[in-house]
Chains A and B, each alone.
Chain A
Amino acid sequence: DAGITQSPRYKITETGRQVTLMCHQTWSHSYMFWYRQDLGHGLRLIYYSAAADITDKGEVPDGYVVSRSKTENFPLTLESATRSQTSVYFCASSVRGLEGETQYFGPGTRLLVL
């Protein structure tokens, strides 16, 4: 049971390049989320998706694009990477996104933008 996986686990890129972070879950959870985690900040929601082909902005969506053509995949693209996007990115999923529902997190992608 793979659960929720992310790739790559580590990525170094340069300013201005496009980068795509992958997220895959095997539970058929409806809801998927992308967070970034920076020192001194809590997890901040970038985008989330309630189902295939349904996505919505979170707290910090600028500079990011998402898509969800299949329930199990939720890629995050940085269209033109900036140094401020250096962070740890976590993908998460939950069954229905309702109150009281646990979110399950992937192992994270550590992204360094030079």
Chain B
Amino acid sequence: GQNIDQPTEMTATEGAIVQINCTYQTSGFNGLFWYQQHAGEAPTFLSYNVLDGLEEKGRFSSFLSRSKGYSYLLLKELQMKDSASYLCAVTDSNYQLIWGAGTKLIIKP
């Protein structure tokens, strides 16, 4: 079966750094996405990785290791508005997106 694992919930402090991990087991791999979803809202795109390594975009970075089936999303200089769920999704060999259940990130002052 296909499976994506993320921690259910994480807590961090405003101004700090947090790393959200995602491990996956899918039939094939054609890229990994991270989406942000604020409570009661729709998911919005954050990042995409298809090759190994780190992709940096402002305060957010995403890392991929295809051999380990592993990715992480790194959020720096945390702000209260970063309180949200972060969804990991993998494109499988059929180009279907398989979604993790999401990690709820709570930011404390």
Contacts and interface: CB of A to CB of B under 8 A. Distances in A.
Interface of A: 40-45, 58, 90, 97-100, 102-108
B60 to A, nearest CB: 15
Contacts of A97: 95
A105 B101 contact: no
B19 interface: no
Nearest to A35: B99
Interface residues of B, number: 22
Given A97-B95, A99-B31, A105-B42, A41 B50 contact: no
B45 A99 contact: no
19 contacts: A42-B98, A42-B100, A42-B102, A43-B87, A43-B99, A44-B99, A90-B42, A90-B43, A97-B95, A99-B30, A99-B31, A100-B48, A102-B33, A102-B45, A102-B48, A103-B45, A105-B44, A107-B42, A108-B41
B97 interface: yes
A64 B48 CA distance: 31
Contacts of A58: 96
Contacts of A106: 42
Contacts of A99: 30-31, 50, 91, 95
Interface string B85-109: 0010101000111111110000000
